[in-house]
Amino acid sequence: SVERVAGANRYETAVALAQRQHPDGAAAVIVATGEGFIDALSAAPLAAAEGAPLLLVPSSGAPDAVLDELVRLDPATVFVIGGTAVVPSSVTDAIAAALPGASIDRVAGANRFATAAAVAARLPADPDMLIGVTARNFPDALAAGSVARTSPLVLLDDRGVHPVTAGLISAAVGALLRVLPLERTGSRPLTTAELQTACDLAVSDGTLSETEGRSLARLLLLADLEVHRIMTPRTSVVSL
């Protein structure tokens, strides 16, 4: 069967989804701007980790439908994604007034890259995988959402690797490499062929799906090069 979940606009559609998936309320709720795509997409793994619905707001103010849904959900914590330029203080003030007993936790950085990294910092430690997606358009990140689950989304830019992103990749690269059946010694970067072979083996033994293998090969190449550029690399990573 096909079930359409929809509202009169993007804000009411998000409310309808929350009502559909959380009929008995939720301990946490994610709030992000509905006027841009990247913060809400970056927050998807946090929503999965917290078991939280994701509601959207415009910069002009929280719609009544959203405030009413927040009251119905009655969360203990509201995670607000992004800085005051995208979710103004007037919006968080309205949320706080509607939920006087809730904690309002803003998760934000100076830009979209830093906000994505701030979200990643709230996720479970030692992720099995990072999902690299373009920061300049939404289809790839949207498609990656179902694969990511609670794995951080890393924003990549064809104009260069943002320092915040490089730091996030470097911090997690050990965990990324541990999922691959590959032994590495020495301090040189892995070659493209070595990374691809590792991912091919992981796909063949069922550790990764074909899509995950392709994505991880590209991201690991970037990660390994960045580790060697900005920090002393680990000299040995042995597969489990």
Asked if 203 and 151 count as a contact pair (C-beta separation under 8 A), the reply is: no
What's the angle, vertex CA 61, arms to CA 56 and CA 62, rounded to 5?
Answer: 45
Rounded to whole angstroms, the Cα distance separating 155 from 144 reads 12
**Which tokens belong to 229?**
């550029």
Contacts of 121 (CB under 8 A, 6+ apart): none
**Residues sharing a CB contact under 8 Å with residue 204, sequence separation 6 or more, in sequence order:** none
Q: What is the pLDDT along the chain (240 residues), one digit of tens a residue?
A: 899 999 999 999 999 999 999 999 999 999 999 999 889 988 998 999 999 999 999 999 999 999 999 999 999 999 999 999 999 999 999 999 999 999 999 999 988 888 988 998 888 766 666 676 777 777 666 666 666 677 777 776 656 556 676 666 656 555 444 333 334 444 444 556 656 666 677 677 676 667 766 666 666 655 555 444 433 333 333 332
Burial 60-78 (b: 16+ CB within 10 A, else e): eebbebbbebbeebebebb
This prediction has a pTM of 0.70
Beta bridge partners of 29: 78
- How many angstroms separate the CA atoms of 149 and 106, rounded? 21
